[in-house]
Chains A and B, each alone.
Chain A
């Protein structure tokens, strides 16, 4: 464990996210092969690729849902390769899930409150939050930020799909995120909901960087400044959105894959 001073100085210079040679095998099948990616603090990047390209597996390795078979992951300079998920989250990493993983038996505001509490002290507290509790207030304002105030006391299981997706984002923005992984946030949303999503993403403070997996090029390319293309578990191309869009190889692959 590095000292606080080291970590602070590392924060100044290091990349937000630095993956070196990440490989992940499932039995004999390689879901990821030698993936190396660096993302600067505050940088916003899209990861594109057809189904099975390894995008979600990449996210799962970064958040520690499972460990990579080999390779290292650094988060703001700190080696987090073998940290349990909650330790990574407490360091400012966040993610959303492709399929909403929410707490369906709890209300909207309780979901967000849990997320805010999860990255602060008092997770084991046996005392109910008092009136004016800072974390309670943070949860309320986050509910507002994702436009869910109207349903704040509803059980999450009763929400409409689009609302669940918005809540999914709220959970990922709790506390003080430094870097967020968005896994297909626009999947299944209506055009109106999509533009609302773009609004939420572009309204994020500049210092929060993110990586977004998105099939919808219109959404993806409007909210990022760089793009990584993946294919069969490997990095295929990296570049600015326009370069990638104009690249004939990418066009072949992507349009041939039936998405886009």
Chain B
């Protein structure tokens, strides 16, 4: 696949002019403002906005981030990320506690969560191993087929997945003296994990593993000819991405308090692709932008829609049209839009500037 929008490489940290360490002064002021806003959000926003808008955006953003990691860095657009997240959520329900006492094993969270993450990561590795046997467009088709198979399997299997009804009554635990299901702690939990995975993906992009992944995206054959085991690298990328998606999947289950086959249905799988593409596969921030937009639309579009006299059920039409417009007009999403706007404003600036 040659038409994947390519993340611009980070420019080497500029020598620091002030007394600050180089990495600190390299952080753009806008990031400081964003950081403060997010940290003090609970002082400004109500519980609904905290959990339903921001918490949800962070979670969806993480799942889309795992897709961006595979697609933007590795050139592998996987539609299995929502499925892997859902599997982690299911496993957290099966090994932890839920209202379905005949299946849930009721293990404490510090055992159930690691088990769930391990299973999700392992599943991601298997998906990766299957998907990387072929290249390019086949990846999308194979991962879509795998996701659909998982959906139908979860729907029909009652022994582990409890069929159509799935699990409910799954709650974030009380740990370290904090009730994580309360809105403000849950907000900070999702914020911390989303920020951690974002920083991780940014950081790894310049580490040997991430660079090698981008090399494979640009030219897999040449990577083999300079000593890399391309297949192993691709599968390892699936493992990393699946871990991130798994963490997000458990958070999503905690947030909703339930998980059912619909969580990983085809529409949900496609939604993650829409989020990642609309936000932009070119930079790790893209998925979070896309997720915020999606969460806002999902929450408020119905009101806006009925205000204009449309039937309130036409949400998918709106999403579909918006997605089409973005793909046709700016294939690299909001991030690409912003980059072009910035480059036009500063034509003298370096053509391939950094993105701190």
List residues of chain A with CB under 8 Å of any chain B CB.
63-65, 84-86, 89-90, 95, 97, 101-107, 110-111, 113-115, 117-119, 122-129, 153-155, 158, 171, 174-175
For the complex, would chain B's binding face be called helix, strand, loop or mixed by DSSP majority? helix
Q: Which of B218, B221, B223, B225 has the most CB of A within 10 A?
A: B225
Q: List B contacts of A84 (CB < 8 A).
A: 224, 229
With A106-B211, A128-B203 known to touch, is A89 a contact of B219 (CB < 8 Å)? Answer: no
Is B339's CB within 8 Å of the partner chain A? Answer: no
Q: Which of A102, A126, A155 has the most CB of B within 10 A?
A: A126
Task: Judge whether B222 and A102 touch: CB under 8 Å.
Answer: yes
Is B214's CB within 8 Å of the partner chain A? Answer: yes
In the complex, 29 of the A-B residue pairs with CB atoms within 8 angstroms, ordered by the A residue number, are A63-B225, A85-B224, A86-B229, A89-B225, A97-B225, A101-B221, A101-B222, A102-B222, A103-B219, A104-B219, A105-B217, A106-B9, A106-B215, A106-B218, A107-B352, A113-B211, A114-B211, A117-B211, A118-B227, A123-B208, A123-B209, A124-B236, A126-B207, A126-B210, A127-B207, A128-B203, A153-B12, A155-B9, A175-B227
With A86-B228, A103-B218, A119-B226 known to touch, is A153 a contact of B11 (CB < 8 Å)? Answer: yes
Is B204's CB within 8 Å of the partner chain A? Answer: yes
Q: List B contacts of A63 (CB < 8 A).
A: 225
With A110-B211, A117-B212 known to touch, is A65 a contact of B225 (CB < 8 Å)? Answer: yes
Task: Judge whether A105 and B225 touch: CB under 8 Å.
Answer: no
Cα–Cα distance between A113 and B226 once the two chains are bound (Å): 11
Distance to closest chain B CB from A233 (angstroms): 23
Which chain B residues numbered 1 to 39 have a C-beta less than 8 Å away from chain A? 6-7, 9, 11-12
Is B356's CB within 8 Å of the partner chain A? Answer: no
Task: Judge whether B204 and A126 touch: CB under 8 Å.
Answer: yes
Q: List A contacts of B229 (CB < 8 A).
A: 84, 86
Q: List A contacts of B226 (CB < 8 A).
A: 89, 114-115, 118-119, 171, 174
Task: Judge whether B224 and A106 touch: CB under 8 Å.
Answer: no
Distance to closest chain B CB from A149 (angstroms): 14
Residue ID in chain A nearest B204 by CB atoms = A126
Task: Judge whether A117 and B208 touch: CB under 8 Å.
Answer: yes
Distance to closest chain B CB from A196 (angstroms): 23
Q: List B contacts of A113 (CB < 8 A).
A: 211
Cα–Cα distance between A110 and B233 once the two chains are bound (Å): 17
Cα–Cα distance between A85 and B351 once the two chains are bound (Å): 35
With A86-B229, A128-B207 known to touch, is A155 a contact of B352 (CB < 8 Å)? Answer: yes
Q: Which residue in B12, B207, B214, B352 is a CB contact (below 8 Å) of A158?
A: B352
Q: List B contacts of A95 (CB < 8 A).
A: 225
Q: List B contacts of A90 (CB < 8 A).
A: 227
Cα–Cα distance between A104 and B230 once the two chains are bound (Å): 17
Is B206's CB within 8 Å of the partner chain A? Answer: yes
Q: List A contacts of B209 (CB < 8 A).
A: 123-126
Which chain B residues numbered 259 to 309 have a C-beta less than 8 Å away from chain A? none
Residue ID in chain A nearest B218 by CB atoms = A103
Residue ID in chain B nearest A122 by CB atoms = B208
Residue ID in chain B nearest A113 by CB atoms = B211
